[in-house]
Amino acid sequence: MRYTKQTKAHPRHMSTDKITLRTPDVLLDPNLEFSTEEPPIRELVLTRKRCIDSSIVDSFLKLLRNGSDDILRQKLSSYSQAQDNGRANSSKKTSCEQYLKKELYPNWQTRDQIISFCEGQSEQLKHELDAGTSKSIRSNVIPEIDPRLDPYSARRIIYDREAAYKDWKRLNSWIENNKKVESILRNSSAKTLKQNCDQNADYMAQFFSFINKTT
């Protein structure tokens, strides 16, 4: 099961300079324990800069993953106990459906929005860099500079371009890494859901149906 970019679900995020995302109120159950060194980030204003310098985004994604896939069995148990203590099969099915719609699928969707937004910013950045390089070649943007007046100007222009391309490569690497993480987590969660809910259900297909209905 591979991570699939759902551009149809998030077209509005690809044309903006920033998006604001919040963690759901039900994300952190006070009865569940998490190992954390810092207070959780409950709201994220995502920009290109934060995609490139991703420490805050990484913390936000970690919070989302810790509160969903990483404690999936505990969450299912909690929902099951709320439905007649999980004694009836119908109650078990209902509790699974409630958890998927209220927590897990919205959580996955938010993570998709983050990755899709940063991927869109990566594509825009590459286009801007390529266009700028092409324009520079055609018009000789780098001027002839008297080294006695400013010996570092030409070198600084070249350095800035190289740094921008490094940012783009780092962002691409971050995107691919997080796609792999999502694929692994969702594959594992789908197996857990089959074991605890409905072994015949296609939970990824249900997720795609969910995001198409909510956008």
The residue with tokens 């969910």 is 210
Q: Per-residue DSSP letters for 201-215? A: --HHHHHHHHHHH--
Check: CB of residue 203 under 8 Å from CB of residue 193. Answer: yes
Looking at residue 137, its pLDDT comes to 42
Residue 53, domain extent: 7-119+184-213
Q: What 3-state class would DSSP assign to 27?
A: coil
Number of compact structural domains in the chain: 1
Q: Per-residue DSSP letters for 142-172? A: S----TTT-TTHHHHHHHHHHHHHHHHHHHH
Q: Is a pLDDT exceeding 80 seen at residue 45?
A: yes
Question: What are the b/e assignments for 176-203, b being 16+ CB within 10 Å?
Answer: eebbebbeebbeebbeebeebbeeebeb
Partners of 45 in the beta sheet?
20
Which of residues 211 and 81 earns the better pLDDT score? 211
As a whole number, the mean pLDDT across the chain is 80
Q: Is a pLDDT exceeding 90 seen at residue 8?
A: no
Q: Is a pLDDT exceeding 90 seen at residue 80?
A: no
Tell me if 128 is assigned to some domain: no
Tell me if 14 is assigned to some domain: yes
> Diameter of the chain by CA atoms?
85
Average pLDDT rounded to a whole number, residues 33-55? 80
Which of residues 159 and 138 earns the better pLDDT score? 159
Average pLDDT rounded to a whole number, residues 174-179? 98
Whole-model pTM above 0.85?
A: no
Tell me if 161 is assigned to some domain: no
Tell me if 39 is assigned to some domain: yes
Burial of 173 (0-12, 13-18, 19+ CB in 10 A): exposed
Using CA atoms, how far residue 74 sits from 12, 29, 44, 98, 111, in Å, is 34, 10, 26, 14, 21
